[in-house]
């Protein structure tokens, strides 16, 4: 998983005072201090809403494999939800019967709770992608990392109506041992990727499709974006990629937990 920093500056590097700073330590102490507040949200309709399942400890290692097996593919979609592009991606996924993992930025989830609920209602999974998408998180204090991860978890959970994120993907892949441990203690498996489609650069639909076909042997987890600018190329690419992969004998799953 290469470091990924493109197309992210529009979120900004700071968080407004209204977000409230959460100060926490990694590991069991974080779990004990934070579990009550977040798990008090009312459960939503999806299986991942179960408090017992959501709070289950997961591995601290970065997940790449698919629960669909050796010919499984994981579609992951970052930086939303976005009122223009997320609904279009949901339509394409529904058209081909594919489930995806949506790695949501906390401020975006808070601004568009209706879209978060639509993602959950369609059977997709949620992933914590931090509050403000700071790709330099790994250079910041543990206090700052905790605030970014835990506040985003809360914001996404509240926006979804109680469904907690099942993964944590560091912005730009800026994981640290601390952030991985903290996320895992909250039941969120650290999530990487194998194929960076570079769709945020808008290289053209053909280029996005070609990147997937060329790099899929590297591993099953594909990275796309539904926010941060014009994502029409991504929508068009998914409409071609999903049936192509099915014809090639791939099936679609979720990242392992």
Instruction: For residue 199, tell me if it sits in a domain.
Output: yes
Instruction: For residue 59, tell me if it sits in a domain.
Output: no
Which neighbouring-strand residues pair with 78?
103, 225
Instruction: For residue 237, tell me if it sits in a domain.
Output: yes
Domain housing 215: 67-253
Give CA–CA dist 136/177, Å, rounded. Answer: 15
Half-sphere exposure of 14 toward its Cβ, with a 13 Å CA cutoff?
3
Catalytic residues: 78, 225
Instruction: For residue 102, tell me if it sits in a domain.
Output: yes
The count of domains in the chain is 1
Instruction: For residue 37, tell me if it sits in a domain.
Output: no
Write down the pLDDT at residue 40.
30
Q: Is the peptide bond before 81 cis (omega within 30 degrees of 0)?
A: yes
Instruction: For residue 36, tell me if it sits in a domain.
Output: no
Instruction: For residue 127, tell me if it sits in a domain.
Output: yes
The CATH code of the domain that includes 105 is 3.20.20.370
Question: Are the beta carbons of 231 and 199 closer than 8 angstroms?
Answer: yes
Question: Are the beta carbons of 9 and 86 closer than 8 angstroms?
Answer: no
Write down the pLDDT at residue 30.
34
The total number of residues shown for the chain amounts to 257
Where is 178: in which H helix or E strand? helix 177-185
Instruction: Check residue 228 and give left, alpha or beta (phi > 0: left; psi -120 to 50: alpha).
Output: left
Write down the pLDDT at residue 55.
60
Instruction: Check residue 20 and give left, alpha or beta (phi > 0: left; psi -120 to 50: alpha).
Output: left
pLDDT tens digits in sequence order for the chain, 257 residues long: 766 644 443 333 333 333 333 333 333 333 333 333 333 332 333 333 334 444 678 999 999 999 999 999 999 999 999 999 999 999 999 999 999 999 999 999 999 999 999 999 999 999 999 999 999 999 999 999 999 999 999 999 999 999 999 999 999 999 999 999 999 999 999 999 999 999 999 999 999 999 999 999 999 999 999 999 999 999 999 999 999 999 999 999 999 99
DSSP per-residue string spanning 202-227: ---HHHHHHHHHHHGGG-SEEEEESS
- Return the structure tokens found at 195: 């194929």
The phi and psi torsions of 140 (rounded to 5 degrees) equal -100, 175
pTM above 0.85?
no
Instruction: For residue 153, tell me if it sits in a domain.
Output: yes
Q: Is 23 helix (H, G, I), strand (E, B) or coil?
A: coil
């Amino acid at each position: 998983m290469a470091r990924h920093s493109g197309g992210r500056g529009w979120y900004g590097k700071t968080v407004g005072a209204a977000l409230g700073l959460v100060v926490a330590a990694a590991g069991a102490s974080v779990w004990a201090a934070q579990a009550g507040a977040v798990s008090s949200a009312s459960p939503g309709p999806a299986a991942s809403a179960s408090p017992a399942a959501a709070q289950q400890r997961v591995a601290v290692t970065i997940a790449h494999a698919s629960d669909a097996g050796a010919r499984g593919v994981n579609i992951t979609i970052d930086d939303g939800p976005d009122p223009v592009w997320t609904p279009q991606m949901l339509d394409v996924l529904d058209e081909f019967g594919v489930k995806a993992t949506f790695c949501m930025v906390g401020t975006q989830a808070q601004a568009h709770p209706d879209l978060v609920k639509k993602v959950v209602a369609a059977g997709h999974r949620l992933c914590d992608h931090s509050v403000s998408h700071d790709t330099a998180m790994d250079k910041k204090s543990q206090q700052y990392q905790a605030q970014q991860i835990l506040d985003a978890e809360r914001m996404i959970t509240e926006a979804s109506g109680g469904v907690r994120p099942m993964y944590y993907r560091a912005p730009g892949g800026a994981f640290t041992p601390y952030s991985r441990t903290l996320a895992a203690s909250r039941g969120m498996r650290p999530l990487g990727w194998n194929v960076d489609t570079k769709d945020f650069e808008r290289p053209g639909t053909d280029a996005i499709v070609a990147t997937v076909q060329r790099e899929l042997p590297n591993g099953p987890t594909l990275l796309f974006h539904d926010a941060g600018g014009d994502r029409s190329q991504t929508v068009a690419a998914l409409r071609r990629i999903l049936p192509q992969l099915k014809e090639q004998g791939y099936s679609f799953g979720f990242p392992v937990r």
